[in-house]
């Protein structure tokens, strides 16, 4: 599967945000996002590994947009937030956006879409409308789905036995992609939460635990069946 690099975005600290598009064009695209929270290296690693596999295989022919690391400043600094101290996954203009933050690490910014990283992401959504968004994070092993992608969550869980949650009722996420995608873009969002690193859990072990699941997903035809 061949990709071309799109015009890059720029972070708060003027670092490049790289994005890639499959050569296949379509009315709507499937997105893979990593590194929205810069300290969640596990999710960024899985996003990169899937990108590398897709780039090397002839088994998949899907319209794709991939942004391996959205929050490049945070990733470089090993920080959840961006260069302005904003949680990018609380800064999108969903209906529930709030200026309030339960903790400093969830600071949503001074207004919705105030951050250049999200402005760039939303510009991609405008030019290449999403039909499905897969966003990688790391918290504890769980598959969170928003919108009509329960089947994808169940498919992945059949391989890794991660729990599935439709909504984080005890952990509200105003201004998140999980809210914004279905509400504004009419696109389901699957937030894949990886286990965090420990002495026994490594980046390689997380990938090996999920490699088959994602390769099967992208060759299964399940994503192509979405009607949004």
Give strand pairing partners of 145: 190
Please state, in angstroms and rounded to a whole number, the distance separating the CA atoms of residues 91 and 111. Answer: 7
Residues 6+ apart with CB under 8 A from 24: 61, 62, 63, 64
Question: Over its length of 228 residues, how does the chain's per-residue pLDDT go in tens digits?
Answer: 999 999 999 999 999 999 999 999 999 999 999 999 999 999 999 999 999 999 999 999 999 999 999 999 999 999 999 999 999 999 999 999 999 998 999 999 999 999 999 999 999 999 999 999 999 999 999 999 999 999 999 999 999 999 999 876 557 889 999 999 999 999 999 999 999 999 999 999 999 999 999 999 999 999 887 766
Q: Helices (H) and strands (E) in the chain — how many of each? A: 6, 10
Helix (H, G, I), strand (E, B) or coil at 6: coil
What is the Cβ-side half-sphere exposure of residue 56, based on CA atoms within 13 angstroms?
A: 7
The crossing angle, in degrees rounded to 10, of helices 203-220 and 150-160 is 130
Domain spanning 3-225 has what CATH number?
3.40.630.10
How many CB atoms are located within 10 Å of the residue 95 CB?
A: 10
Q: In the block, which residue shows the tokens 């980046």?
A: 203
The crossing angle, in degrees rounded to 10, of helices 41-56 and 203-220 is 50
Query: DSSP strand E in 53-194: where?
Result: 64-67, 130-138, 142-146, 164-165, 189-194
Quick check: 105 and 80 in contact, CB under 8 A? Answer: yes
pLDDT at res. 66: 98
How many CB atoms are located within 10 Å of the residue 205 CB?
A: 13
């Amino acid at each position: 599967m061949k990709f071309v690099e799109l015009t890059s975005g720029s972070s708060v600290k003027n670092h490049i945000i790289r994005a890639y598009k499959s050569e296949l064009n379509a009315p709507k695209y499937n997105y893979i996002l990593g590194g929205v929270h810069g300290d969640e290296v596990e999710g960024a690693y899985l996003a990169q590994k899937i990108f590398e596999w897709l780039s090397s295989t002839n088994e998949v022919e899907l319209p794709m947009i991939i942004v391996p690391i959205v929050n490049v400043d945070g990733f470089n600094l090993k920080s959840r937030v961006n260069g302005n101290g904003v949680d990018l996954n609380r800064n999108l203009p969903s209906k529930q956006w709030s200026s309030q933050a339960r903790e400093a690490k969830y600071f949503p910014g001074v207004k919705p879409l105030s951050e250049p990283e999200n402005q760039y992401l939303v510009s991609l959504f405008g030019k290449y409308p999403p039909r499905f968004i897969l966003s990688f994070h790391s918290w504890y092993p769980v598959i969170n789905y928003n919108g009509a992608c329960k089947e994808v969550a169940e498919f992945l869980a059949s391989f890794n036995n991660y729990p599935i949650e439709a909504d984080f009722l005890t952990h509200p996420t105003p201004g998140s992609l999980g809210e914004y995608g279905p509400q504004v873009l009419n696109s389901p969002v699957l937030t894949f939460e990886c286990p965090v690193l420990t002495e026994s859990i490594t980046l390689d072990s997380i990938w090996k635990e999920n490699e088959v699941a994602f390769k099967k997903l992208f060759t299964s035809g399940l994503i192509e069946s979405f009607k949004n």
